[in-house]
Structure 1
């Protein structure tokens, strides 16, 4: 099979994240607006080209005050840096249907190399006869690596917001 372009079905896909709050609790959130350009041969995903763009203003942690703070210059600074972007640079097969996808992640005007563990979940035809493919992925990034350093000290020691952000992807795609 040759490489082909795939469209991400945003209504059946998601980008979620979690971060430690007060050193012992976890806050979760999601980004609702994102786009991707994927060119892949499902028989050999190591040759795929992947680009993601996330609209940071679409952040949703189920708390409007916190979401507005995340959009501010203390965190994402969406006025000056409205998107987060990822472009794959290499893909390595690690096991059956398991891959390490390495690429350049740009956030807050800073670009670093990050690796995400991605699973090819399978493919099949939906009820309308369209071929679809499913993928899931996980990774961790340090927000301080991107200049996102706002925090508040706690009386008991430690800080309000953790540095490590866990990112989770669930993607359903169909041929372009």
Structure 2
């Protein structure tokens, strides 16, 4: 009886994994982006992005709660459209990329909120510190592309506090949080 139960469990797990598709985030075609903004002294917004990142996600429209995502970010690729400022952001006052050149995010729980809304909880490692964050996301769409592939796209946003990731707040009390604006389009493998 144990053998029959084990075979049934293996078949059940195999059918579940076959239903969820694995996607590679399309970072090469510029169809994904990791953008940020933070108030500059409380007077304006400083905006930018990370140019180099990669990742994968698993997604099944019939069971969105079983989805997962993993993203690796090359923090040295920070780009605020100002070379001297980027050099400062890479330095020890902020990201300290010589010591912490990479960041990553691994989801731990995905909750389907209905109507295309999704809550993504996961571990973000940045500046040598790992913290749980929540991303409010939405499914943008999915379907065949003109090149014979299949794609799915999502957008999300969250905010993090500098001090939670061991970075000093050097721009004043109005500049303690960084807002992240995330766009992910994946190509099914």
TM-score by length of 1: 0.91
- Residues in 2 aligned to 1:47 and 1:8: alpha-carbon distance in whole angstroms: 18
Matched, 1:163 2:163: no
Q: How far is the alpha carbon of 1:161 from its aligned partner?
A: 6.9
Map of 2:19 onto structure 1:
2
Residue aligning to 1:156: none
CA contact (8 A) 1:74 1:150 kept: no
Aligned to 1:122: 141
1:23 and 2:42 matched:
yes
Give the Cα separation in 2 of the matches to 1:59 and 1:43: 36
Q: Which runs of 5+ in 2 are unaligned?
A: 1-17
Q: Which structure has more helix as a fraction of its residues?
A: 2
Cα distance between partner residues in 1 of 2:173 and 2:132: 26
For 2:21 and 2:146, locate their aligned partners in 1 and report how far apart those are by CA, in whole Å. Answer: 22
Offset of residue 5 of structure 1: 1.2
Partner of residue 187, structure 2:
174
Query: Are the equivalent residues in 2 in contact too, given 1:55–1:82 (CA < 8 A)?
Result: yes
Higher relative contact order (CA 8 A, sep 6+): 1
Please report how far the alpha carbon of residue 135 of structure 1 lies from its aligned counterpart in structure 2 after TM superposition.
0.7
Structure 1 pair 160/71, CA: closer, same or farther in 2 (3 Å)? farther
DSSP-derived class of the 2:133 partner: strand
Once superposed, which parts of structure 1, at least 4 consecutive aligned residues long, lie more than 3 Å away? none
- Per residue, is there more strand in 1 or in 2? 1
Match of 1:73 among 89, 92, 102: 92
Structure 1 residues 16-44: Cα deviation after superposition (integer angstroms, max 9, x where no partner): 00000011211100001001121221332
Which structure's CA Rg is the greater one? 2
2-side partners of 1:133 and 1:39: how far apart? 10
Q: Match of 2:170, SS?
A: coil
Q: Secondary structure at the match of 1:12?
A: coil
Residues 23-80 of structure 1 show CA distances to partners (whole Å, capped at 9, x for unaligned) of 1211100001001121221332210121111100100000111101111111111111
Count matched residues.
Answer: 170
Superposed, 1:123-162 pairs within 5 Å as 123-152=142-171, 159=172, 162=175
Q: Which runs of 5+ in 1 are unaligned?
A: 153-158
TM-score, structure 2 as length reference: 0.85
Structure 1 position 112, deviation (Å) = 0.8
